[in-house]
Structure 1
Amino acid sequence: MRRKNKLITTILAMVMVFPFFLGLGSAKDVMGTENPNQTVTLHKRKFATMPADKKNTGDLMDDFGGDPLAGAIFTAYDVTTAYWEAYDEATGTDAEKSGAATTAVLALKNTVTGGTVFAATDTDGIATKALPKKSGGRNAIYLFIETTSPAGVVQGASMPFVLGLPVYNEGTDIEKGTVHVYPKNEYRELALEFTKYGVDAEGDLEEGGLAGAKFILKGQNGSYYNTTTRAFDLTEAQALAQITQITSTAGGVVSLPNLVLNPGTYQFYEIDSAVSKAGLQAEDSMLYHYAAAKNPLVIAHVSRDMTITYDYYDITTTKQEKQTTASAYNYQVPTPKKDADDKDVDIDQEINFTISQKIPIDIKNYTTFALLDEFDSSLQLVNNTEASLLAEIKASMTSLADLVTGVSISDDSFRVTFNLAGLKEHAGETISFKVKMAVKPGAALATDIENKITFENDFAPKTDTDQVKTFGKSFLKIDGDTQAPLAGARFYVKKGDLYLGTKDGKQAWSAATGVTNGVPTFPVGFVVTVLESAANGQFSVAGLAQKEAGVNIDYSLKEFVAPDGYALLASEVHFTADNGTIRLNVANKHKGSLPSTGGSGIVAFVLIGVVAVGGAVLYFTKGRRQIEG
């Protein structure tokens, strides 16, 4: 009975203790469900200008200011050990020790690794994550660093901050359900901008900017700017289809305002600058060019602090770097000049053609530079071998002769080549030389005989021409009475006291050295030209200049043999050279026949009769005496 009661007592005791164990279990479970983490919510705010620091309360702060900023990514680094070591070593109040410890862990911002990464802030600027409250047995301390900044953020102003957990409600030991932190960013929308200028052939800036130059913009991510989406989301081919949308304005400004940019390099490539000033035609030589080899012409560098510097080529094509403003330049190709020293000439007369070419201000952009002279088939070079022509060109140059490397001659042209590397040291200077040419016999009268010079280059061939003319005169020898044509009249052509002729096979003028038997004599080697009227009475002279110093030259014909039966002209016939289509009549008078008056007549016959009669008288008288005697 006693044993039975003992068993019952034991069972009852166990029943009474069981709830206690259950309670312990329950207590243990309650302690086990205490959250070891605390939720941290970041509210990323952006400001045009960074405001003064404002202390976070850990609660929602609707009056914090700024606007939400999406796309920021923060990483929380556990710096608990470093913090508490610095705290424990510091002296002073808790606030002083906390300040020293905070300074110590902020110094670790460039060396920390690992960390807990928050999601990118959403459109409300919010990112949330739970973090452990304890680390190594002490309150956890975290260094928050913005490891990815969205475009437009002044990253230098995105300062790291330190957060210690757990955070309690003010004045209690009750932990906040969520800790709200408001990190700030300075945020800027930028404008990439520069001015496009036109440079004339003299190397001077045209007034105002240059409109119509077209660009594409390559972003730091390798894609191209889309003017529709305002993002860098195009391939190069797609961007080329939009080039008219990045175009210099009437003032030459190329501007993309209100851009939200990441730090990096942005490159402007010029695609088309075949532009001209309003109202002028292409033949007015107002077209401009750019140097594709220099692309990108303008490079913008956007720093982490959202400041912009530019690299570009200045007006002399020298690269400028890290400048706060930028310019770009399009250039005119300078036009060559061709000028004859006499445009109204005799055949075979030596004409000095002066050829001038300005070395472009942007000669560094050129890989081709030559001068091609093309002349009419009625013209010929005086120095017609390459060696003699090269010597003539160099001898006529007052400077830069050493830059002429050679000439080549073909049928009716020659090309002058230059040392391009040497030319690049003389940008803006002018090359000038002379070439002697002459009009060939048989050239058409009163007709422009052209000589063209072409500047061959990388961008646009430019040309200039000059013309010379020669003239002559046609004549008709006629009977002064009947107007019938007369053949056989012979003439000299004179200009004052000078006679037309040839010397060394070329047309020339010379004064007579004397007169022999009525015929003028001339220096040795000079052959006077003789014109003779044909059976139809026609004759002509060609290859004469018409004017001298703007005044008609007075030529004359001197007849020295008249047509048979006609009187020689006593006076010279004066004329002016023209196109040879209007004939000048030169009339002679027929000699006619004259009676034989004033001669011996019948006197001889009378004398003969007297002598005969006298003889008869004498005969008969004498004969009678003889008979009578």
Structure 2
Amino acid sequence: MKTNKFLQVILATILLLTTAFVSNQHIVSADDNVDVKNTNITINKRIFDEGKTPANKQNTGDVMSDFGGQPLNGSEFTVYNVSDQYYSLIKGSDQNTAIAKIQQDAASVAPDYAKKVDAKTTAGQGQATFANLPLTDSNGKYIVYLFVETKTPNNVTITKRAVPMVVAMPIYKLDANLKPTNDINKDIQLYPKNETAKDTKEFSNLGQFNQVTVNGTTFANVTTGDTLNYKLTVNIPANIGDSNAVTSYKINDKPSAGLALVAGTVKVGSLVKDTDYTITEHDGGFTVDLKLDSAAVKALAGQKLQLAYNMTLTATVDPDALQSNKASVQINNDTEQQITPPTPVGTGGYKFTKKDAQTGKVLQNAKFVVTNKDQSKFATFTTNANGDNVFTKWVDTKDAATKVVSDANGSIRVIGLLNGDYVLNETDTPSANYVLLKDGTITFTVEHGKYGASNLDVKNTPKGLLPSTGGAGIYAFIIIGAAMMIGAYIWFKKSRQQAEV
């Protein structure tokens, strides 16, 4: 019996060490002659960032304060009894082969032959303890347990789940040299590992735009005529195909008020709309809802999915506010996992008031074109609901340009321009009674953040007024002239009489 026990201890040790050196799988085996009836098994859940998960980490069965990773709460582990299958498999084979087959069967979900014992969710420091698990069944046969991570947290995307763990009772403690002792481990510590990857969002054509830094914030300087390309990379959960673990997976993009999706531009990897996903475009953004019964979606388990789409500034964009779009992933309709937004965008504009140069009265219906600094390009605009002139593009001739017109308040507002110097050239005065401004007279500088404070008075000088012949003006001249002549005659007569005396 001593020889038999020694061989079994050696086997248990070899299998325990295999947790570190064979495909990162936790394998533990058993002995035949023990007095201990129950044991505790504690799951110590650890999560690692993508690429930082240790390939092999020896599991000693004791507390391992240097195991690495971060504790992960919210993972559900279910323990099953797989003793019948285990003992059936080892007939004509060996323990390692039997355990590997059970692990393979449980790679996605627990196999049908697994009999559920209990389920617990990690908490505190990523721990879940299964207390007082029996070492033997009612017939005195040692039990073989299977631990499967049946659910992962909704607030983090798990790209690599913990490998199913097979624990064949009983487990012996190891000494400092990792040699087996004669003491049964009644408080087994297991360290399953998860890996997570960071979802990212990129401003794909950022390099096409000038980047400006104001008060420590860097943004891309864009116009309302520019198309902005975005790329969103999300990591699909490793258990996306398990309907008990993942019931919903949504990808959201929510732009700020001045930014909106170009309709119909969203591409979701190689997935097919309405077959593999549905999309709802709303509030300037969108929601992609993956169809979890799709074979193409299930095949993405633990993989990356890339979305590409275009956005533009809206016609009612605030020229003084930076615009950004926030993306997120939502698993099982739980709290959204926010994705760090890319570089924001900003535009600019300017305001003018048309006035009479003498009276200061505001003037309506004056017409202008906007040009670049050297007056070689001319701007076209659309008009939004607020009456603002929203930039669309540059053209080569004045005839092709949009004429912006002063409204009833004499106001002209242009928005959606880049930072820089521009010219406002008058093409038509409010009426024929005003002098047309010479081209190049009105220059202005656009700077993001200063639209609200901008206001340039554009003044027209009235032409000189002459009274019309036969009009009221001539009568005034006649009356005044007659009075002056009568006065002169009286003075002349009076002077002459005095001289004769």
Task: Provide the TM-score with structure 1 as the length reference.
Answer: 0.43
- Contact kept, 8 Å, 1:290 with 1:329, in 2: the verdict is no
1:538 alignment partner in structure 2:
411
In structure 1, how many angstroms separate the alpha carbons of the residues matched to 2:134 and 2:281? 61
* 1:373 corresponds to which of 247, 253, 257: 253
CA distance in 2, matches of 1:272, 1:358: 17
The letter for the 1-side match of 2:330 is E
**Alignment pair present for 1:509 and 2:381:** no
1:559 matched to 2:426? The reply is: yes
Tell me how far apart the structure 2 counterparts of residues 374 and 469 of structure 1 sit (CA, whole Å).
Answer: 17
Match of 1:559, SS state, is: strand
Alignment of 1:408 onto 2:282? no
Q: Which residue of 2 aligns with 1:576?
A: 445
Point out which structure has higher relative CO (alpha carbons under 8 A, 6+ apart): 2
1:494 equivalent in alignment to 2:368: no
The correspondence for 1:205, drawn from 53, 72, 82, is 53
Q: CA deviation at 1:554?
A: 2.2
Counterparts of 2:365 and 2:77, CA distance in 1: 82
**What is the alpha-carbon distance in structure 2 between the residues aligned to residue 215 and residue 265 of structure 1?**
20
**Residue 196 (structure 1) aligns with:** 45
The answer for the alignment partner of 1:463 in structure 2 is 338
CA deviation vs aligned residue, 1:15-39 (integer Å, no higher than 9, x gap):
xxxxxxxxxxxxxxxxxxxxxxxxx
1:521 aligns with 2:399: yes
Report whether the alignment pairs 1:472 with 2:336.
no
Paired with 1:575 and 1:266, the residues of 2 have a C-alpha distance of 78
The answer to whether the 8 Å contact 2:223/2:417 transfers is: yes
Paired with 2:319 and 2:276, the residues of 1 have a C-alpha distance of 37
Counterpart of 2:287, as a letter, is: R
Q: Mark the CA change 1:216 to 1:430 in structure 2 (over 3 Å): closer, same or farther.
A: closer
**Structure 1 partner of 2:328:** 454
> What's the CA shift string for 1:88-122, capped at 9, x where partnerless?
xxxxxxxxxxxxxxxxxxxxxxxxxxxxxxxxxxx
What are the within-5 Å matches in structure 2 for residues 128-277 of structure 1? 154-155=31-32, 196-200=45-49, 202=50, 204-205=52-53, 208-211=68-71, 213=73, 248=126, 261-262=135-136, 263-266=142-145
Q: 1:352 aligns with which of 194, 204, 229?
A: 229
CA distance in 2: counterparts of 1:411 and 1:215, whole angstroms = 35
Q: Tell me if structure 2 keeps the 8 A contact 1:492–1:557.
A: yes
Distance 1:431 1:553, change over 3 A: farther
Q: Are the counterparts in 1 of residues 354 and 363 from structure 2 also a CA contact under 8 Å?
A: yes
Q: Residues of 2 paired with 1:580 and 1:492: CA distance?
A: 21
Q: 1:340 to 1:587 in 2, by over 3 A?
A: farther
Letter of the aligned partner of 1:556 in structure 2?
Answer: V
Residue aligned with 1:422, SS: helix
> What whole-Å deviation, never above 9, does each CA across 1:325-364 have from its counterpart, x for those lacking one?
9641345474352537465433354332333223345555
The DSSP-based 3-state class of the residue aligned with 2:234 is strand
Q: Who is 1:61 aligned against?
A: none
| Matched pairs, number | 345
The answer to whether the 8 Å contact 2:366/2:405 transfers is yes
Alpha-carbon distance in 1 for matches of 2:279, 2:123: 44
Judged with a 3 Å threshold, the aligned counterparts in structure 2 of structure 1 residues 221 and 492 are, in CA distance, closer, same or farther, namely closer
**Which runs of at least 4 in structure 1 moved beyond 6 Å after TM superposition?**
46-51, 185-191, 214-222, 242-245, 254-260, 269-275, 288-291
Q: How far apart, CA to CA, are the structure 2 residues paired with 1:299 and 1:453? A: 39
Q: CA deviation at 1:439?
A: 3.0
Q: What is the one-letter code of the residue matched to 2:327?
A: I
CA deviations 1:513-533 (Å, max 9, x no partner) are 4xxxxxx433xxxxx321233
Superposition deviation, residue 541 in structure 1: 1.5
Q: Which has the larger radius of gyration?
A: 1
Deviation at 1:583, TM superposition (A): 0.7
Q: Secondary structure at the match of 1:558?
A: strand
**Superposition map of 1:289-300 within 5 A:** 298-300=165-167
1:432 pairs with one of 306, 327, 332: 306
C-alpha spacing 1:268/1:454, structure 2 compared with 1 (3 Å):
same
Secondary structure of the corresponding residue to residue 70 of structure 2:
coil
User: Do the aligned partners of 1:190 and 1:261 also contact (CA within 8 Å) in 2?
Assistant: yes
Q: Deviations over 1:120-157 (max 9, x none)?
A: xxxxxxxxxxxxxxxxxxxxxxxxxxxxxxxxx943xx
